Amino acid sequence: MNPPRAPRSLWRHARIASFDGDRPWGWLDDGALLVEGDRIAWVGPDAALPSERLTGGGPLDEIDLGGALLTPGLIDAHTHLVYAGDRAAEFEQRLQGASYEQIARAGGGIRSTVAATRAADDEALFTLAAARARALMAEGVTTIEVKSGYGLNERDEARCLAVARRLGRELPVAVRTTSLGAHALPPEFEGRADDYIAEVCRWLPGQQAAGLVDAVDAFCDTIGFTPAQTRRVFDAARALGLPVKLHAEQLSDQGGAALAAGYRALSCDHLEHLSPAGIAAMQAAGTVAMLLPGAYYFLRDTTLPPVAALRATGVPMALASDHNPGSSPCLSLLLMLNMGCTIFRLTPEEAWRGVTVHAARALGLGDRGRIAAGLRADFVVWDAGHPRELCYRFGHNPLRRRLFGGMPD
């Protein structure tokens, strides 16, 4: 018996923003896209469709898009989706003048989410995280990075990573998992940060052996961990062959970006207080600058990340939702496109590349984030004529169809 043929589809008469190559937007005004199985088999001008590619490969579903916009699937490359509880009361405290750092040092912040997460069972954590993932998917997201960091002990960190892996098995979305045990100091280790870091390093081999982790992250800042402690985590990750990334220079300049770049980090994230030395180190290492305007906005920060300097030195810039309960309770990557432009002064094309090609790079993924032959057939059809429209209009979702691995929702 012959094996079943892979599904084939042809998407014609689309305005395609491929983000492939250096031409603006990777633009095709009247383009066509041939999908075979879960891969893009051909893309180019509709008038140049090669007839030999359309015959002999089995049934072909042809869709005329009538000039609709087609882009790569969006990639949210920095989220904290797996947690229980909320921090709405802390939001009110900040409105009354308390700072994020003051709340954290008083026992709130990440620790309060840790308590709620530890108390929740696996099914409750999955149900909550799946609803958040579906909200992102409804706006065209096809790949999501999910960090741990709300368990802060061996058992609960592994549980959170396992829930994130389950999202990728049960939902039509790709999930990359990041171990963020070095997120905050749990109460049982009060005054013993070095001992806690030793525990985080001890957990990593087991997480890797269980297939739970794709990368390792840490929070290097005044309310997080010191550069020396961060280095210990990164040394443990490197010994296992795991790539690293870093929450760096959000509240102060600790030299975290340069430290992470020394390990050829995939990304450094937040970066409001990034120094010229940090920029130079990131540029030399090929590290992506992950910009998180949701957290900047929600915390009412006043120090902008150095976007102009990053642009001038050619450091690739990505955008993400940073969904988390304390500093960015947002589930809209489309809103981040607008915020990236209006708050951080990215161009619309920079913002779009930040949620496609550069977001893929920040996850170490070369098979998505662009529309090109051989890549995954993760793409979105929008009721729009040009990608800049999605940066311009906020609170608006023009998604028409979302395809993940060539399969529509």
Establish whether domains 8-72+369-408 and 74-362 are of one fold: no
Is 1 a residue whose pLDDT tops 90?
no
The two tokens of residue 293 are 């305007």
The residues, ordered by sequence, that sit 6+ positions from 324 with a Cβ below 8 Å of its Cβ are 79, 80, 83
Question: Is pLDDT of 62 > 90?
Answer: yes
More confident of the two residues 369 and 111: 369
Residue with tokens 């802390």: 90
pLDDT in tens, 293-316: 999 999 999 999 999 999 999 999
pLDDT over 90 (residue 273): yes
- Residue 6 pLDDT: 58
Query: Residue 161 is encoded by which pair of tokens?
Result: 């990573």
Q: Is 242 helix (H, G, I), strand (E, B) or coil?
A: coil
Identify the pLDDT of residue 298: 94
| pLDDT confidence of residue 292 | 98
Q: Where are the domains of the chain?
A: 8-72+369-408, 74-362
Q: Do 368 and 376 meet the contact criterion of CB atoms below 8 Å apart?
A: yes
pLDDT confidence of 3, banded at 50, 70, 90?
very low
CATH architecture of structural domain 74-362: Alpha-Beta Barrel (3.20)
74 and 380 Cβ atoms separated by less than 8 Å? yes
pTM of the model: 0.96
2 pLDDT higher than 90: no
**In the predicted model, is pLDDT for residue 106 greater than 80?**
no
CA–CA separation, 126 vs 132, rounded Å? Answer: 10
- Report, as an integer, the average pLDDT of 322-334: 97
Question: Of the ranges 49-53, 128-132, 265-269, which one carries the lowest mean pLDDT score?
Answer: 49-53
Contact criterion met (CB below 8 Å) for 187 and 111 = yes
Of 91 and 125, more confident: 125
State mean pLDDT over 49-72.
90
Residue 108: per-residue pLDDT: 79
Q: Are strands 27-36 and 39-45 parallel, antiparallel or unpaired?
A: antiparallel
* Fold of the 8-72+369-408 domain: Urease, subunit C; domain 1 (2.30.40)
The model's pLDDT over 176-231, given as tens digits with 9 standing for 90+, comes to: 999 999 999 999 999 999 999 999 999 999 999 999 999 999 999 999 999 999 99
Contact 271, 305 (CB under 8 A): yes
Using the 8-state DSSP alphabet, how is residue 231 labeled? H
